[in-house]
C-alpha cells in the first residue's frame, strides 16, 4: 500500500513539474489582433501551424514565432519580439511588437 501511495505521489509531482516548466498553451495566443498604423486600423492573425509553431499573418507579411519564454516570442530574421499581455484573469488581451529592422520600438495590438 505504501508503494502504491508513494508511486501516486511521484506521478502527481511529475505532472505538476511538467505544467510549471513554462511550456505555453499554444492555442491561447492564437486569434485576431488589431493595431493602428498611420491613423488606420490593421489586422493580424496569429495561427497555430503545428503543435508548437505560431505564425503571424498580416498585410506586412508572414512570420513564424520562436518561443523565448512564457508570453515572449521572437522572429530573429527581422530582429523582432512579440510580448503578450494578460489581464487579471490571466487571459491574453494584447501583444506588443518590436522590430529592430524597421526601427519599430513598440506597437500594441489588442486581441479581439
Q: What is the pLDDT of residues 11-60, one digit of tens each?
A: 333 333 334 445 678 999 999 999 988 888 999 999 998 777 899 999 88
Residue 43 lies in a domain: yes
Domain span at residue 101? Answer: 24-111
Q: What is the CATH number of the domain that holds 32?
A: 2.40.128.50
What span, in angstroms and rounded, lies between the C-alpha atoms of 108 and 111?
A: 10
Per the domain annotation, does 3 fall within a domain? no
Which residue is it, cell 498585410? Answer: 59
Q: What is the pLDDT of residue 6?
A: 33
Residue 80 lies in a domain: yes
Q: Checking phi first, is residue 26 left (phi over 0); if not, alpha (psi -120 to 50) or beta?
A: alpha
Residue 79 lies in a domain: yes
Residue 100 lies in a domain: yes
Model confidence at 70: pLDDT above 60 = yes
Q: How many structural domains are present in the chain?
A: 1
Inside any domain, residue 44: yes
Confidence (pTM) = 0.75
- Under a CB-based contact definition with an 8 Å cutoff, are residues 67 and 60 in contact? no
d(C-alpha 89, C-alpha 18), whole Å: 22
C-alpha–C-alpha distance, residues 79 and 40, integer Å: 25
Amino acid at each position: 500500500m505504501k508503494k502504491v501511495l508513494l508511486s501516486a505521489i511521484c506521478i502527481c509531482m511529475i505532472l505538476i513539474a511538467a505544467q510549471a516548466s513554462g511550456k505555453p498553451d499554444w492555442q491561447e495566443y492564437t486569434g485576431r489582433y488589431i493595431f493602428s498604423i498611420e491613423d488606420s486600423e490593421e489586422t493580424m492573425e496569429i495561427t497555430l501551424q503545428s503543435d508548437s509553431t505560431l505564425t503571424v499573418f498580416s498585410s506586412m507579411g508572414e512570420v513564424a514565432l520562436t518561443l523565448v519564454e512564457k508570453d515572449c516570442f521572437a522572429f530573429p530574421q527581422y530582429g523582432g519580439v512579440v510580448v503578450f499581455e494578460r489581464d487579471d484573469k490571466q487571459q491574453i488581451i494584447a501583444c506588443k511588437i518590436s522590430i529592430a529592422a524597421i526601427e519599430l520600438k513598440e506597437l500594441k495590438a489588442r486581441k479581439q
